[in-house]
Every structure is written in structure tokens, then in C-alpha cells.
Amino acid sequence: MAVKVLRPGVERRVANGLDSMRLGAALVWKLVPQARRLEPQAFVETIANSLDLELDMRLEAAAASEMAEVMAKDSYMSAPAVIWDGVGKRVLTLEWAPGVPMTDPALPDLPGIDKDQLADNVVRAFLVQALDHGAFHADLHEGNLFASAPAHLTAIDFGIVGRLGPAERRYLAEILWGFISRDYDRIARVHFEAGYVPAHHSVETFAQALRAVGEPVIGRAASQVSMGRLLGQLFEITALFDMSLRPELILLQKTMVSVEGVARRLNPDHDLWAAAKPVVERWIKRELGPQAQAKDALNEVISAARAISRLVQEPPRPTTVVIEKSGTPAWLVASVTVAVIAALTSLGLSLWPYLH
């Protein structure tokens, strides 16, 4: 087993560090107007919330247990079981993680290790967690990973778990799929629909800017891509189109950078997009395909029918009002209600074949 214990005084050191970060963020906000769109204070508070959770070993044990269940649903990554009798506010006990630490320089050359598949698995494990389950290990660097032949990964340290709602998961999937399929117009529309780009900008111009970033890197080996140049271009685009930092996506962005770094160190020529494609394509087909759209439409029909039913069963209580103008004729209200119910019924019947 492995036992993790908080050092004495660590809470005070974290609090002092956060105070310094808050002061720095306030100074940046006041003295550097160009940086305000990056929401430095919201960024610090996001980090502070994560650290507060990480300082309670009971919460980390719960996160480890949850993520073990999530990871067990695919074959890319696993987590050690929690030994609950050894869990307290300042102590966490887990089963021993199998495998070789990924910080070991000799790992890629060990017998039976498939470093290319390991690189693919770390990317796919992260994407499955984020897209399929909305909960992901948000600290996936080599110090928290163990590998065993041929390409199995075991993760530890679940103090930081990122969470995505349905809207953020759809945003992530559509953006990735847009780059994989080189559909820059789609990527641009998703940004505008999510409110990440102010509406006064041009969708077409934003798509053009995305193409300038994506085309030089899609399909190329990672060793041929300058990450510094790519990040510089992305930063320039966010400034050009008045894009603000999204606090809810900070952990996602941080983890994506870490995961790509792990994959590139295993295989300098690793193709991140090829590794991501099977997971993203599966999600797109399942969540946005014809059958999923039909189910969504039918659910809307059912919700509307229930609302009408509740209105009929529990009509609003009558109130005394002074009518200065003639109201809508009763025959017109009845006609519209009948027409709406008929339309909803027709739509439901037309979608029924897609649900089988």
C-alpha cells in the first residue's frame, strides 16, 4: 500500500502563496489593461478552489474512487483502489500502483514497453474521461503516472479533478473534430455559439484566422511543430478577437498541455490529432448523430406536452384585472392550442422510426 500524509504547516504555506498570487493578479489587472481579458483574478480563484480541495485527504480519496470507476470503463488507464480504513483529513491510503514510474529515463527502452501506444493511450484516456464522463484527472504529468507492458497506464494523485458540463463537453468535442476534419467554419461557429467570441466580430474572418493556425500543424509530426510559435499565434488571435480567458476551462487547457507533453516525450513524432480521432469521432456520432438528434427532438416534444398537461390540470388562479383593451378572442386561443398540440404530435410520430 501507499500512504500520503499532509506535512505540518502546509495549509499556512498554501494560504501565503495564494495571498501573493491574489496581490499579483490585482496589480496586473490595474497596471496592465491589455491583460484584463485574461481574467487574472478569476484564474487565481480557480487555482485556489482546487488547492482547497486538495488539502483534504478525504475529498481526494472520494475523487480517487470516482476516477477509478470512470477509468475502469475503458482500457487506457486505471487507478489504485482506496483503502478507506486508512483515510482521514490529513492521511490517504491507496493500494500500491503497479508498473514503472514514467519519470524513469529507462522506461522507453524496457522490454515489452510500446512507447508509441503509451503515447496514444495517455491522450485517449484524458479525452474519454473529459468527453464521455465530464470528470478528468487534471494533473496528468509523468510524476503521477506509472506504466506497465505493453502500454497500460496507472494514475495517482487525484487532488485535482476537472469537471465539464454538457455544454463544455460539446464545445471540446466540436472544436477537436473541427480541427481533425479541417472544418474551420464549424470551429468558428462553435466559438460564437458558446459566446467565446463577441458577436460583433465576423464568423468568416475568425474561421480564416483559425485556418492560419491549423493548416501548418495538422498532420505534421510533433517534432516539426514549434509549440512556442503556435501558442504565440493563438495568443495573437485571442487578442485580435477580444476573447477572454474562460475560468471554467482553465483546468482543461492546463491538462491538455500536460498530456501532449507526456505523449511527445514518449514519442517526439507523436500525432496528437490521429490519437484523438477515434475517441472524438465516437463521441460525435453518439451525441450529435441522427439518432441522438431524433431523441433530443422527441424529448422536447414530451416536455412541451407535459407542460400543456400541467397547465390544463392546474390552470392559473384567476386574478382581478382592469382591462383597457379588448383581449385575444377565446376562439383564437383554442385554435392555436389545438394547432400546437397537433404539430407536436405530428413531429413525434415523424421521429419515431429513428428511435428504433
In tens, the pLDDT along 233-254 reads 776 788 888 887 777 677 888 8
Query: What does each C-alpha distance from 133 to 67, 172, 183 come to in angstroms?
Result: 10, 13, 25
Q: What are phi and psi of 73, to 5 degrees?
A: -85, -5
d(CA 324, CA 305): 33
pLDDT band at 312 (very low <50, low <70, confident <90, very high): low
The label of the residue with cell 477515434 reads 278
Q: State the pTM of this model.
A: 0.75
Residue 150's identity, in one-letter code, is P
Alpha-carbon distance of 153 to 99, in angstroms, equals 8
Name the percent of the chain lying above pLDDT 70: 77
The per-residue pLDDT for 355 is 46
Determine the 3-state secondary structure of 163 from DSSP: strand
Cβ atoms of 113 and 107 within 8 Å: the answer is yes
Residue 191 to residue 206: CA distance in whole angstroms:
9
Which 8-state DSSP code applies to residue 353? G
**C-alpha cell read off for 355:** 428511435
Distance CA 67, CA 192 (A): 32
pLDDT of residue 234: 72
pLDDT band at 69; cut points 50, 70, 90: very high
What is the pLDDT confidence band of residue 328, given thresholds at 50, 70 and 90? low
- Catalytic residue positions? 139
Residue 99 scores a pLDDT above 60: yes
pLDDT of 294 reads: 56
Q: d(Cα 6, Cα 51) in Å, to the nearest integer? A: 13
